[in-house]
Chains A and B, each alone.
Chain A
Amino acid sequence: MGKYILKRIALAVLTLFLVCTLTFFLMNLVPGGPFMAEKAISAQAQAAMNEKYGLDKPLTEQYVNYMERLLHGDLGVSVKQRGRTVNQIIATKFPVSAKVGGISVLVALAVGIPLGSVAALKRGSWLDNLIMFFATCGIAVPSFVVCTLLMYFLSLQWGLLPTYGLSSWQNYIMPVMALAFYPTSYIARLMRSSMLDVLGQDYMRTARAKGLSQSKSLFKHALRNAILPVVTYLGPMLAYTLTGSFVVEKIFTIPGLGSEFIGSITGRDYPLIMGTTIFLAMLIIVMNVIVDIAYKVIDPRIKLK
């Protein structure tokens, strides 16, 4: 177990290192380097920038400096938002995204798990077909389609919900629906297939042979086993929610990190692009490690190996 955790963490550190390196060299492909793309900057400012970030030095030295700063948690300075560091921007914007994303993850779990279980239990029935129809659509419809359709009907046509911002709780409904749609469908499908698998296991037959009622054997014996694959999906789901927020926040003009990131790409604010990428990548990688380790803890079969 301890060995596994160490191995997993080592792999994560290596991946993170590669992502940072890749980011650095990719950004150097931009003509003039990341800090000189902006033509509006005066020659003096550019010289100051060059000196500050050592851009006049050879690439390898720049790289070492860059990695050193990363190790100290310094993600650099935005070139578009004067005087603000990338760290400051993330600190103000990320909580907004985290709130919307967190609610979406909870909604996806709370809706997807019961739907998938019901579909498995009633397999072949109209209910199963209905749930699976929506779940199949859910993984096929891109989030921007969900967003725009929701916005068109719920806001523009019927005027039920506000279109942009996050001023009241109603503002959360559409972004959360749009962001949770795909993971909910995915979890429902995952849950259905793992539930069907579990229901066919010998120990479920044992549970029935003991005289347990269907609901009891289901809640005690089936659910605990069937939910394990959903735990492994938590990592990818987080990655999806974070990247999905790019689209959702853009459409619903939510002042979160996602819309900031997209803004930095269109505005070519390269330090902000790099900083956000590394921050999000770190978040995803760390979450994946936590989920992987948690999975091993939950499943007693693996515990002692």
Chain B
Amino acid sequence: MSEYLVEVKNERLSFFTPAGEVKALNDVSLHLNEGEVLGIVGESGSGKSVTAYSLMGLTAYPGKLIGGELDFNGHHINDLTERDFRKIRGSEISIIFQDPMTSLNPVYTIGNQICEVIRLHTSKTKAEATARAVELLTLVGINEPEKRLKQYPHELSGGMRQRVMIAIALACEPKLLIADEPTTALDVTIQAQILELMMELKQKLGMAIIMITHDLGVVSSMCDRIAVMYAGRIVEYGTVDDIFYRPEHEYTKGLLRSIPKLSEKEHQKLVPIEGTPIDLLNPPKGCPFAPRCKACMKVCLREMPPYTDLDEVHYSACWLLQKKEFEAKGGNA
């Protein structure tokens, strides 16, 4: 039994495609307390969503968990059957997806789709479920909820639909809400509204959130902890302050250099990270970031860097940290 709400230890997950094994997750570890917000940041294909989906048993075919321990709210995820997963999905753990345009079924009304999840996990009658749906729509800031219940998804705007998705996710007051790039498909002004709504609801309902995003701005304002992922590995993990003010991994530093800062008085030049992510079908032997790394060393090309603890929370996987320790010890191990 884990002391945390979510604890993932050394998770390995691969997609067995006809072209070969794609190592989507390679030794991923993270944990989360109740009511905390964890941000997972990284480029497309770095394994952010895969990590979150595996917690819900939603890993897409042909993906398979091949190693590690996953615990959530007293459930040992590794041992859960599809039937067990069904009980916790939508009730203890919920998810909202990136594209609210396609995540709602176009042929059913909003009310139908909200009541569905309520009636699935509770013993409420149809009338009670409808009353709860109205309550939920009010909660997520949709006006005229009774009218909206009878509408179809295509009659609502993108922001509204995402609010409906949030209402569905929160219908059974879950312990954990996974938000998979919830604002990427929305207009900038709507983005802020949705994020604000999520934080407000977190205050009210007290659930933990895993926020998956490639937007560092989003995590800085919302999260307690941040995991930076690259090519199926967490390359750095720490509090917001750790990541933003004391980054140790070259990739994290690169990410921070590539976003504009309003606080800077002088015009600072944005520095992009050169190169492209690696092909996970043929991963290099050493550090996956090595080919793009400015400080790449010979060992980086040969060996995967080990995790180096920097304090209780903060850790990173970079040979430079090992180099420091190596030198501190006097040169020869």
A touches B (Cβ under 8 A): yes
Q: CA of A203 to CA of B91 in the docked complex: distance in angstroms? A: 18
Contact A203 B102 (CB under 8 A): yes
Contact B86 A206 (CB under 8 A): no
Contact B86 A213 (CB under 8 A): yes
Assess whether B154 is interfacial by the CB under 8 Å rule: yes
Most buried by B among A210, A225, A301, A304: A210
Contact A205 B105 (CB under 8 A): no
Q: CA of A225 to CA of B88 in the docked complex: distance in angstroms? A: 27
Q: CA of A267 to CA of B155 in the docked complex: distance in angstroms? A: 59
- Within the complex, the shortest CB–CB distance from A1 to chain B, in Å, comes to 14
- Within the complex, the shortest CB–CB distance from B121 to chain A, in Å, comes to 6
Assess whether A88 is interfacial by the CB under 8 Å rule: no
Report the tally of A-B residue pairs with Cβ distances under 8 A. 71
Q: CA of A225 to CA of B105 in the docked complex: distance in angstroms? A: 9
- Within the complex, the shortest CB–CB distance from B180 to chain A, in Å, comes to 10
Contact A209 B104 (CB under 8 A): no
B residues in contact with A300, CB < 8 Å: 106-107, 152, 154
List B residues 72-106 near A (Cβ within 8 Å): 82, 85-91, 94-95, 97, 99, 102-106
The answer, among B91, B99, B107, B121, for a CB contact under 8 Å with A202, is B99
B residues in contact with A213, CB < 8 Å: 86
- Within the complex, the shortest CB–CB distance from B136 to chain A, in Å, comes to 14
Instruction: Using known A-B contacts A205-B58, A301-B154, determine if residue A211 contacts B103 with beta carbons closer than 8 Å.
Output: no
List B residues 180-220 near A (Cβ within 8 Å): none
- Within the complex, the shortest CB–CB distance from B103 to chain A, in Å, comes to 4
Contact A212 B105 (CB under 8 A): no
The answer, among B85, B89, B107, B152, for a CB contact under 8 Å with A224, is B107
Residue of A nearest to B89 (CB): A211
Contact B103 A206 (CB under 8 A): yes
Q: CA of A170 to CA of B150 in the docked complex: distance in angstroms? A: 50
- Within the complex, the shortest CB–CB distance from B102 to chain A, in Å, comes to 4
Q: CA of A303 to CA of B56 in the docked complex: distance in angstroms? A: 36
Looking at chain A, what size class is its interface with the partner chain? 20 to 34
List A residues 170-218 near B (Cβ within 8 Å): 201-203, 205-214
Assess whether B281 is interfacial by the CB under 8 Å rule: no
The answer, among A202, A211, A221, for a CB contact under 8 Å with B117, is A211
List A residues 250-305 near B (Cβ within 8 Å): 299-301, 303-304
Assess whether B167 is interfacial by the CB under 8 Å rule: no
A residues in contact with B99, CB < 8 Å: 202
Contact B106 A206 (CB under 8 A): no
- Within the complex, the shortest CB–CB distance from B166 to chain A, in Å, comes to 12
Contact B102 A210 (CB under 8 A): no
Contact A203 B104 (CB under 8 A): yes
Instruction: Using known A-B contacts A209-B89, A212-B120, A300-B107, determine if residue A202 contacts B97 with beta carbons closer than 8 Å.
Output: yes
Q: CA of A239 to CA of B63 in the docked complex: distance in angstroms? A: 45
Contact B155 A210 (CB under 8 A): no
Bitwise, A13-32 to B at CB < 8 A (1) or not (0) is 00000000000000000000
Q: CA of A205 to CA of B59 in the docked complex: distance in angstroms? A: 10
Contact B90 A203 (CB under 8 A): no
B residues in contact with A208, CB < 8 Å: 58, 89
Q: CA of A207 to CA of B103 in the docked complex: distance in angstroms? A: 9
Q: CA of A2 to CA of B150 in the docked complex: distance in angstroms? A: 22
Residue of A nearest to B104 (CB): A203
A residues in contact with B69, CB < 8 Å: none
Instruction: Using known A-B contacts A225-B106, A301-B154, A304-B155, determine if residue A212 contacts B58 with beta carbons closer than 8 Å.
Output: no
Contact B103 A202 (CB under 8 A): yes
- Within the complex, the shortest CB–CB distance from A290 to chain B, in Å, comes to 20
Assess whether B243 is interfacial by the CB under 8 Å rule: no
- Within the complex, the shortest CB–CB distance from A217 to chain B, in Å, comes to 10
- Within the complex, the shortest CB–CB distance from A223 to chain B, in Å, comes to 10
| Ranked 7 nearest A-B pairs via Cβ | A211-B90, A211-B89, A202-B102, A210-B90, A203-B105, A210-B117, A202-B103
Q: Known pairs A203-B105, A209-B58. 18 more at Cβ < 8 A?
A: A203-B103, A206-B103, A208-B89, A209-B56, A209-B89, A209-B90, A210-B116, A210-B168, A211-B87, A211-B91, A211-B120, A211-B121, A213-B86, A299-B107, A301-B107, A301-B152, A301-B154, A304-B155
Pairs across A and B, CB under 8 Å, 21 listed: A202-B99, A206-B97, A206-B105, A206-B165, A206-B168, A207-B105, A209-B89, A210-B168, A211-B85, A211-B89, A211-B117, A212-B116, A212-B120, A220-B108, A221-B108, A225-B105, A225-B107, A299-B106, A300-B154, A301-B107, A304-B155
